[in-house]
Amino acid sequence: MKLPASWLAIPADSDFSLYNLPFGIFSRNSDEPRVGVAIGEYIIDMSAAAQLGILSGAEVAVSVFQSPTLNALMALGRPVARRLREFLQQQLTQRHSSLHKLAAEVLVPQAEALMHLPIAIGDYTDFYSSIEHATNVGKLFRPDNPLMPNWRHLPVAYHGRASSVVVSGTPIRRPNGQILPPGAEVPVFSPSRALDYELELGFVIGKDSKLGESVSAEDAEDYIFGCVLVNDWSARDIQRWEYQPLGPFLSKNFATSISPWVVTLDALEAFRVAGPTQEPTPLPYLQTRGELNFDLELSVAIGTGTSTETIISRTNARHLYWNVRQQLAHHTITGCNLRVGDLLATGTISGPETGDDYAPNGCLLELTRGGQQPVQLADGTTRTYLEDGDEVILRGYAEREGVRVGFGEVRGRVC
């Protein structure tokens, strides 16, 4: 559905078009963090809009928009957020609408706002759903048998750490830990020398499920409010020494960055595509049909502070082998309950080699073949893993027939 033009000037290449309207938490001049909606280069201050009566038709209590997280809004259910988004689309396209008349009191330039972590995250689960990533990493350790026997039967995951999920822009401290030097038999204690990023998407849960009950793949999207970009920072040397037999622990618990704007599933609806063919056919509870992947262009850039950033990878979320319905059905098949604010990330997103100028790899472990093939940056330096002062910038957007819906960025600088 094509919308009329807005009375507000929205740059044509903006991630935050009329078709997006993602939710976030912002403040300005050290005032109270509150709910905002991104549009072009502005934020609609939803708390101010509600207090001025602009949102009176939405039947949402003002306190929901004064909250420092999106949890209360999400808990009202997807239909409420859907109505709000459609209402704002009307207000932004009708001249002399309430929002137009009161724009000076309600629109905040993004350049003047501080963005906050948008969600109180209760639990964070990270999957491993890219077959290209799992295969490329598996080859480094098991050249003849890269995929584990379970991989094509279930969406592999680990339970991550929610307390250290931070918003874009938060500095990332290089972790210390135990590392086994090459050829050594006992570990040393050291700052990580193999700090890496992981390019991922995260799905935010907007509805509780009941303990003891599983959510079917068919119903799974009712439980998802929206989507963010995720950087799952990883210390590969700590990981290598600790990960057997129970998986990653300290190598990933020190920080995970997310983008400040939560893009609703409704905004991504127009960008659905079918995922890859799954062979063998999964067990019945994991069987899905239809266009369940999203056509999202993703990129990774590194900025060194001394030069312009270098884009080092490009890929697309459409390549993910396991889709979010399957991830959610698998997560709850035991009766494990989901709660509003839980974060389910896809795992590193890589894709097939396309032969263009950009590698399709979502982390340095994969891109540098385990640190063996350095990547070149614009300032003439090379990287195998991240150095202090490096800034990692992940971006993602969808575009079709002139309609663009994007996530903006998630940034983090290593210190």
Q: Just list the catalytic residues.
A: 133
Q: How far apart are CA 162 and CA 228, in angstroms?
A: 15
Binding range to Mn ion, per CB under 5 A, among 25-33, 125-133, 165-173, 216-224: 125-133
Alpha-carbon dihedral of residues 173, 176, 180, 181, nearest 10 degrees?
Answer: 70
Binding range to Mn ion, per CB under 5 A, among 11-19, 118-126, 237-245, 307-315: 118-126
For Mn ion, what does the binding mask look like between residues 227 and 246, x meaning CB under 5 A? -----x--------------
132 makes contact with Mn ion (CB under 5 A): no
Structural contact between residues 409 and 393, judged by C-beta atoms closer than 8 angstroms: yes
Alpha-carbon dihedral of residues 354, 168, 195, 238, nearest 10 degrees?
Answer: -120
Binding range to Mn ion, per CB under 5 A, among 88-96, 124-132, 288-296, 310-318: 124-132
Shortest reach from residue 200's CB to Mn ion, in Å: 6
198 makes contact with Mn ion (CB under 5 A): yes
Q: How far apart are CA 309 and CA 27, in angstroms?
A: 28
Phi-psi category of 387—alpha, beta or left, where left has phi over 0 and alpha has psi -120 to 50? beta
126 makes contact with Mn ion (CB under 5 A): yes
- Closer CB to Mn ion, residue 248 or residue 371? 248
Shortest reach from residue 345's CB to Mn ion, in Å: 6
Binding range to Mn ion, per CB under 5 A, among 119-127, 132-140, 315-323, 358-366: 119-127
409 makes contact with Mn ion (CB under 5 A): no
Q: How far apart are CA 296 and CA 91, in angstroms?
A: 28
Q: Which residue is nearest to Mn ion (CB)?
A: 232
Instruction: Count the residues in the chain.
Output: 415
Structural contact between residues 31 and 68, judged by C-beta atoms closer than 8 angstroms: no
| Count of residues engaged in binding Mn ion, rule: CB under 5 A | 3
Shortest reach from residue 196's CB to Mn ion, in Å: 10
- Closer CB to Mn ion, residue 45 or residue 232? 232
- Closer CB to Mn ion, residue 123 or residue 198? 198
- Closer CB to Mn ion, residue 39 or residue 230? 230
Q: How far apart are CA 322 and CA 243, in angstroms?
A: 23
Q: How far apart are CA 60 and CA 67, in angstroms?
A: 12
Structural contact between residues 62 and 46, judged by C-beta atoms closer than 8 angstroms: no
- Closer CB to Mn ion, residue 198 or residue 390? 198
By the criterion CB under 5 A, which residues form the site for Mn ion?
A: 126, 198, 232
